[in-house]
Structure 1
Amino acid sequence: MGGGILRFLIIYNFFVIFIQSFLVINFNNFLNPSFLEAFLNTNMAESIEFISIYINFKFFGILIFMIVALFLLKIKINIKINNKLNIAFIILIFVVCFGNDLRRAIKYDFSRYINIPFIKFNKELIYTDDILINSKIMQESYLKIANNHEKLKANENIKNIVLIIGESSRRSAYQDYGQELNTTPNLINIKNKIIYSDVIAPYASTNPVMSVLLNFANLDNLSERKFYENLDIINLFKLANYKTFWISNQDYISEWGNNAASVGIMSDFSYFTNKYMSSSDTLSYAKYDGVLLPIIKNLKLNDNNFIVIHLLGNHGNYKKRYPKEFAKFNESDIKTNISDKKSIAEYYNSILYTDYIIQNIYDIFKNDDSLIIYLSDHAESLYDDKSKSVLGHILDKITAEIPFIILYSNSFEENHKKLLKDLNKAKDLPFMSDDLIHLICDIAGIYPIEYKSYLSPLRSDYKKDKIRLFGNELKYNKF
């Protein structure tokens, strides 16, 4: 019995070492919610395709090391607990491996015990952070919370508030943020705009971001209640008598874990281009974001409208995100030593197309009293970490840095002068998108009991020194 348990623990620990070594070597990080979300919300074929990219000499090096170590152990270690020398040896190993982590946990913060690698691995593996929560449960919770609220008033009375949510769009790819390539020729020429210079995402993958972007949940209160136990952004505007719209080029509401669609489906009008596709099919076969433009043009608007537009944006495979006429950049335009210049060029072509989409959306609303907010869920690594050379969503500084751009009409400028002044004043303050709803409350002048003024950069008591945790574990300013 005891030998069987010990044999299981040895094999299991070798499995943990292999997984963690693979992640550290390829992504410079341990298992975390972003990795789990990426695997749990995809199919087997897509997971195998992703892993195959990293099957290289490093992968086989780890594998060979594991096999040799197991062979040497022969999985037949017998430890006699009554042997004082063995007991002392076990205690010594424990102290060497975990002593410093326990010392810091006891001295500073006992919750740090979860940073012990073995404990951290199992904690992330077992505790899914509601990634797989049923979508119907989320909707029921949101509706129950909304029904417990009184009607609200929108003091600013803006006719159109438009929220454009991009995908995998990095700040540095935009000319307004210093990009030298002509990637955003339309945005750069729009005069009525405010460029927010220091906004970051809370996570490196979509579902975790959407769990805190679209409601009053943030990284500070997730330990108090589930993210779907907060008032959501659609019902917030419904309570203020706005007509709500959700127009999406991402996948329709799946049974599990899709918070964006769970919130969006509660709108007065919702449209999903990829209604009958799975998440993986969406990435492979989805239409270009331009398919949304006729839908947006023909919306039946009221006096006050809140419109969310969810783009597929710049998510890989990049070359599938834009029509051929937007294939402007090629490998010769990419001034870097990275061998895969083709992927980087294709990414910038997708940015060029996103610029075109944003310009067209702006043109639809610019003749009314309108304010448009554009941001991305998270950014993208383009082999920025030269020692790791990773493409895609990784837990790294560059992946946190998202564009945050406010566009407004001439009518908005005329009707909301103080608000526009406050928006301009806040443009260089540090901000994280998990508090977006508090900023939007100030923009619309809607103040439910969940609103906190110190989380809105428009307020004098804004906590600009708040610690921003990326991936809920890494301090952004310590990268």
Structure 2
Amino acid sequence: MTKFFNTIIKSPFINIFVVTTLVMFIANIYKIYFFEGTDRIALMHMARSLTTIFLLNLVITHVLYLLSRGLFKGLYLIYALIIFILCFINFFTLTSLKTDINIAIIDSVLHTNPDEAGEFFQTFFEAKYLVVAILLCIIFYAMTRYKRSSTKEFSRKTIIVLSVIYIAFAAVFFTKSAMRISSNKADRAISKLSEHILINYAFVLKKYLLDDNFLASNKQILKDYDVSKAANQNIKAEQKVANVVFVIGESLQRNEMSVYGFGLPTTPNLMALKQSGNAIIYTDTTAPDTYTNGSLSKVLNFSNYESKEPWSKSLNIVDMFSLVGYKTAWISNQSNIGGYSTTQKSVADRSDITFFTQKFASATNYAGRETDGILLPEISKIKQSLGESNFYIIHLMGNHFKYDLRYPKDFAKFTANDLQNKMNPGQKESFAWYLNSVLYNDYVINEIYKIFKDDEA
């Protein structure tokens, strides 16, 4: 320990350690701000984050020192350079792709040819990325060149105190992480460890290289779909409607819809469509499951509880329409990646046209931060490019939590004062947000109806 601590307090090692810790801390706080806003950036959270990054950076520095000794300076510079590059990549993916690094991005990079890379660069390049890159280069240069005039080595007593503190903190941290992993709380442990950006990338790369990630699962599902489609080549449509539009919502409760009797006017457009005879309101439908993926695995496929075959081995709804001569389109404001998106992604990939508002964003971060109205121009655009017989699946973010992100400010009609329920003020506020999201959902559905109302649909 004595040689290690007395080495890292010297230049450029202390410079590298302090600067890489601060750069990773700033990158982590920016990521939290980007996805969560200012709500989660409390002083206590920032202190915990800085402590975690400091400890992990110190442990990795120690490991590099033990492994290299004579080559420590060169290896530590390479380590610092990697940290800077990864922080820049994260800044780019957050601001341009609206997501942290994930296996979908890695897969796209590994399967991109030079022409596609050039097009990608032209599409996403902005001056701010050049400015950030230059700033990081200046910081890196200054970090490696700055030297303190003299550095006094730690006394034996100081080394003992530092060693005890270091070992105690490391032991507690890694013991808690191991306990979380062994008690089915691995996600929390991984999330904490991933505050160090190099560890975060290591976890993502490990996930990508495993055979059981969602990309591998999706490839197998698509193979199953090919078999199912080949087995149903002879199906025919006795009648054809020019445009079939299937809208999938999210977390919409009929009990909060005025068209089903709720006391506040949350669905005025559906009420008007019902009264004009342009909407049939069903009252006896039941979801096939209690969560989205479970329900969609049966709604989007000819699968049911009685079937012993996996849902992926049944004919899906997009292939069915394709077999009878329809052009198909999947238009979504939901996530395109992650285990929770497996069902919808696999069916979406069967469509002739797919559009996701954020191609790389996962359900756990930026996906759905745009309100559903962003889909309306795209629906109109795709409608102009399809054929005589078309099938559209429109997947909304709908009323998914966080409710206050699901509608523009213009739709903030309901407040806690409108509610007579026996709730505390916080619950009333959250419920009012939900009702506003229902009101906006009603507007979006009506706008989709307007796009097709003059057509055979």
TM-score, with normalisation over the residues of structure 2?
0.51
Structure 1 CA distance for aligned equivalents of residues 290 and 318 of structure 2: 24
Q: Tell me which residue corresponds to 2:366.
A: 282
Report matched runs for 1:400-411 at 5 Å: none
Give the aligned CA root-mean-square deviation in angstroms: 2.5
1:151 Cα offset (Å): 3.8
Structure 1 CA distance for aligned equivalents of residues 408 and 218 of structure 2: 33
Q: Give the number of the structure with larger relative contact order, counting CA–CA contacts within 8 Å between residues 6 or more apart.
A: 1
1:134 Cα offset (Å): 0.9
Structure 2 CA distance for aligned equivalents of residues 262 and 145 of structure 1: 14
Give, as a single letter, the amino acid of the residue that structure 2 aligns with 1:320: L
Q: 8 Å contact 2:300–2:317 — kept in the other structure?
A: yes
Aligned length: 244
Matched, 1:268 2:359: no
Q: Tell me which residue corresponds to 1:327.
A: 412
1:254 Cα offset (Å): 3.8
Matched, 1:209 2:295: yes
Structure 2 CA distance for aligned equivalents of residues 160 and 368 of structure 1: 8
Q: 8 Å contact 2:267–2:439 — kept in the other structure?
A: yes
- Closer, same or farther: CA 314–151 of 1 in aligned 2, 3 Å: same
Q: Tell me which residue corresponds to 1:338.
A: 423
Percent sequence identity over aligned pairs: 41
Report matched runs for 1:58-457 at 5 Å: 134-190=217-273, 191=276, 192-221=278-307, 224-254=308-338, 258-282=342-366, 286-299=369-382, 300-339=385-424, 340-370=427-457
Encode CA deviations 1:172-212: one digit per residue, 9 max, x unaligned.
12121101101111111112111101112122221111111
**Structure 2 unpaired stretches of 5+:** 1-34, 40-211
Structure 1 CA distance for aligned equivalents of residues 302 and 346 of structure 2: 15
User: Larger C-alpha radius of gyration, 1 or 2?
Assistant: 2
1:153 Cα offset (Å): 2.2
Q: 8 Å contact 1:160–1:304 — kept in the other structure?
A: yes
- Closer, same or farther: CA 287–204 of 1 in aligned 2, 3 Å: same
1:131 Cα offset (Å): 11
Which stretch of structure 1 is more off in the superposition, 343-352 or 198-207?
198-207
1:301 Cα offset (Å): 2.6
Give, as a single letter, the amino acid of the residue that structure 2 aligns with 1:344: F
1:286 Cα offset (Å): 2.0
Q: Tell me which residue corresponds to 2:193.
A: none
Q: 8 Å contact 1:250–1:282 — kept in the other structure?
A: no
Q: 8 Å contact 2:337–2:363 — kept in the other structure?
A: no
TM-score, with normalisation over the residues of structure 1?
0.48
Structure 2 CA distance for aligned equivalents of residues 207 and 293 of structure 1: 24
Give, as a single letter, the amino acid of the residue that structure 1 aligns with 2:245: V
Give, as a single letter, the amino acid of the residue that structure 1 aligns with 2:445: I
Give, as a single letter, the amino acid of the residue that structure 1 aligns with 2:357: T
Structure 1 CA distance for aligned equivalents of residues 235 and 349 of structure 2: 21
Q: 8 Å contact 2:335–2:341 — kept in the other structure?
A: no
Q: 8 Å contact 1:136–1:255 — kept in the other structure?
A: no
Moved over 6 A (4+): 130-133
Structure 2 CA distance for aligned equivalents of residues 257 and 247 of structure 1: 14
**Structure with greater strand share of residues:** 1
Q: Tell me which residue corresponds to 2:13.
A: none
Q: 8 Å contact 1:131–1:207 — kept in the other structure?
A: no
SS at match of 1:136: helix
Give, as a single letter, the amino acid of the residue that structure 2 aligns with 1:269: I
Give, as a single letter, the amino acid of the residue that structure 1 aligns with 2:326: Y
- Closer, same or farther: CA 331–197 of 1 in aligned 2, 3 Å: same
Encode CA deviations 1:60-93: one digit per residue, 9 max, x unaligned.
xxxxxxxxxxxxxxxxxxxxxxxxxxxxxxxxxx
Give, as a single letter, the amino acid of the residue that structure 1 aligns with 2:287: A
- Closer, same or farther: CA 353–131 of 1 in aligned 2, 3 Å: farther
1:234 Cα offset (Å): 0.4
Structure 1 CA distance for aligned equivalents of residues 394 and 239 of structure 2: 22
- Closer, same or farther: CA 310–244 of 1 in aligned 2, 3 Å: same
Q: 8 Å contact 1:274–1:286 — kept in the other structure?
A: no
**Structure with greater helix share of residues:** 2
Structure 1 CA distance for aligned equivalents of residues 366 and 328 of structure 2: 24
Give, as a single letter, the amino acid of the residue that structure 2 aligns with 1:232: N
1:306 Cα offset (Å): 0.7
Structure 1 CA distance for aligned equivalents of residues 313 and 328 of structure 2: 21
Structure 2 CA distance for aligned equivalents of residues 166 and 271 of structure 1: 16
SS at match of 1:363: helix
Structure 1 CA distance for aligned equivalents of residues 213 and 263 of structure 2: 38
Q: 8 Å contact 1:248–1:271 — kept in the other structure?
A: yes
Encode CA deviations 1:130-186: one digit per residue, 9 max, x unaligned.
996811111111122102222432222101110000000011121211011011111
